[in-house]
Amino acid sequence: MTNAKDLIALEDAYGAHNYHPLDVVIEKAKGSWVWDVAGKKYLDLLAAYSAVNQGHCHPRIEATILEQIPKLTLTSRAFRNDKLGPFYKFVTELTGFQRFLPMNTGAEAVETAIKAARKWAYTKKGVAEGRAKILVFENNFHGRTTTIVGFSSDDQYKDGFGPFTPGFEILPYGDADAVTAAMDENVCAILIEPIQGEGGIIIPEDGFLKHLRSLCDQHNALLLCDEIQSGLGRTGKMFAYQHEDIRPDVVIVGKALSGGFYPVSGILADEEVMDVFHPGDHGSTYGGNPVAAAVATTALEVLVDENLVEKSAELGTYAIERLKKLETETDHVKEVRGRGLWIGVELHASAGGARRFCEALEDLGVLCKETHDHVIRIAPPLSISREDLDWGLQMIEDVLKGESSKVEKEAEVAVAG
């Protein structure tokens, strides 16, 4: 079956309705481009929410997975495999942390960091049992488990899923004074996205992360950085926290750790934190399996060997400067912000929402996605060429300047309604 309408109908008929995707049905992909079932070609400016920083179907990662799958796919952690140890060595030496604990999905990795922080609080810091507290921030997005959505400030994420896990305090993102006031003897950790992705590419003021690092040092607490989307080159550094020259106690990674080939995630930390775990405390049947370890090793090698981190910094600076001109060239754009190849174009409420612009871009052969109703999120594969990026930016400029009559008409109808 290759008809997009029929395939969409199958999804709607037999799947849960927990997503609202654009109605493009992708059949194949390569590099920065994807093709739908009718053969139409699109430039991907979302990169699976930063999971394919290396580009779609990267040939080196493909070769690794095809080599590994016929040999060994899973042993569980009841036995050892020949890929895990070398992966541990590579990822820790690359990132400068002493230990890595592998999981599968981003939410699992966040849960792992929470468990590590709490057990550290009771076994190392001396917090009274059941009293450990973790500080988090408004508009955060750390995953979809019941514990994680319980400390979201988005009502929809929580609606109907309670009761929730206690032990979290939500603070305004970027408010240094609020964090200072919230610190007490029961705070075991601060959990933060160095840049909020789902929140709309929100970047805190310079110095905020340094302030958090200082507070954690003063109060003997852990700084946990969720770099699932922001890490592995997305912001023009290997990790976004490096823009402020700090070092967290725990770094949470996922998505681009496998280049889009396989679910791989985990946490990086030193022995002081990681040795709170003992056999039976935590684990995953698939976590650290040989396919995951082999794929993640090659995915990281590609980032380094192809200078994708540096490329993100260079192309990101160019793209942000170019798109910022839209703030004065069109009445639709309120603000353009970003770091590296991670850009948010926030629209005025009068523009009628970001989705209609994303749909118009889809018609023109460009794929990106709205977040929080009024922000267009732009995050192409870091391997994108300057030529392809220029073409995509031109399409975005044309649509936002109102040179697409369809967008202008739909915006007028939406605002009037």
83 is a catalytic site residue: no
Long-range contacts for 412-417 (Cβ within 8 Å, ≥24 apart)? 412/352, 413/352, 414/352, 414/353, 414/356, 415/350, 415/351, 415/352
255 is a catalytic site residue: yes
User: Cα(273)–Cα(286) distance, rounded to whole angstroms?
Assistant: 23
What beta strand segments (E) does 129-278 contain? 133-137, 168-171, 187-192, 222-226, 250-253, 265-269
The DSSP 8-state label assigned to residue 335 in this structure reads E
Distances (CA, A) of 306 to 309, 396, 411: 8, 27, 41
Among 125, 255, 311, 369, the active-site one is 255
What beta strand segments (E) does 273-368 contain? 333-338, 343-347, 366-367
User: Cα(152)–Cα(43) distance, rounded to whole angstroms?
Assistant: 32
| CA 169 centroid distance within chain | 22
Among 36, 44, 226, 388, the active-site one is 226
User: Cα(234)–Cα(256) distance, rounded to whole angstroms?
Assistant: 9
Among 137, 141, 151, 261, the active-site one is 141
| CA 212 centroid distance within chain | 21
User: Cα(245)–Cα(247) distance, rounded to whole angstroms?
Assistant: 7
Q: How many CA atoms lie within 13 A of 329 on its CB side?
A: 14
Which amino acid, 75? Answer: T
90 is a catalytic site residue: no
Active site residues: 141, 226, 255
